[in-house]
Structure 1
């Protein structure tokens, strides 16, 4: 199973990020390519506990406490990619415009940061507490989802 904690997988992701360009069109969803890259940067900062999330208080929501573990197992048990049109939740990006190359550079830096992942405080708002293995698989699947969204 692919995990962001594997250097070869990170290298693959970095290569795919570089394939994105200003004219990349979404195959599904409402975000443009800059919004998607910004969404991934915000989301990775959340998982890594970086940036505005360095002092974030992580907690699982009520629905997650009921259904989260079952959904987590379903999302990390095999190689099946995430489905299209998944909700972005708290990571919706409404701002338009921006510099894709800047977003890609930040994204690449954040992908590289998984080589030294150490955010033991992380609790997914729906899935709850995750093992390192589950985090690695789910992060890969999330990034793969958005790269596939823009044919990268």
Structure 2
């Protein structure tokens, strides 16, 4: 799996985000491009400790989440239209250009953390290494860019 910490993968993601337009149509799912660029910011913010998810799901559910942890960063593509955490659902119509710039800024900020060692634990999946965080962020962005044909 590529990592957002790899120069080539980082540049690839930026080029694909830059190719996205507010009029780009999704091949699956219910989000439009405006919502997608806002949605994709959430997981990056969580990884960087800028945002929290509701972790009040109980011990058993947390154990189940940990069983699926590797699916966040392994080489197998995610299925189309998989559910997302409620905190990541974008119901309004954010301004595309503003959110696209914010996403690009977050991707660049995250990329600069490749040598970071003190990552916050994911509230549902637990601790990740820098390598796992980099792969998980790439995989999430790749999934949604493919959703819009990029």
In the TM superposition, residue 61 of structure 1 has moved relative to its aligned partner by: 4.0
Aligned to 1:76: 73
Equivalence map 1:31-46=2 (5 Å): 31-46=31-46
Q: Distance in 2 between matches of 1:2 and 1:60?
A: 31
Give the 5 Å matches for 1:3-152: 3-50=3-50, 53=51, 56=52, 59=55, 61-62=57-58, 63-77=60-74, 79-89=75-85, 90-96=87-93, 98-117=94-113, 118=116, 120-152=118-150
Aligned length, in residue pairs? 146
Distance 1:15 1:87 in 2: 26
RMSD: 2.2
Structure 1 residues 31 and 48: CA distance shift in structure 2, 3 A: same
- For residues 79-100 of structure 1, the C-alpha deviation after alignment (integer angstroms, 9 at most, x for no partner) is 222211121212111112x321
TM-score (norm. length: structure 2): 0.84
Q: In structure 2, how many angstroms separate the alpha carbons of the residues matched to 1:66 and 1:108?
A: 33
TM-score (norm 1): 0.83
Question: 1:139 and 1:119 mapped to 2: Cα distance?
Answer: 16
In structure 2, list runs of 5 or more residues that go unmatched. Answer: none
**Counterparts of 1:33 and 1:86 in 2: how far apart (Å)?**
17
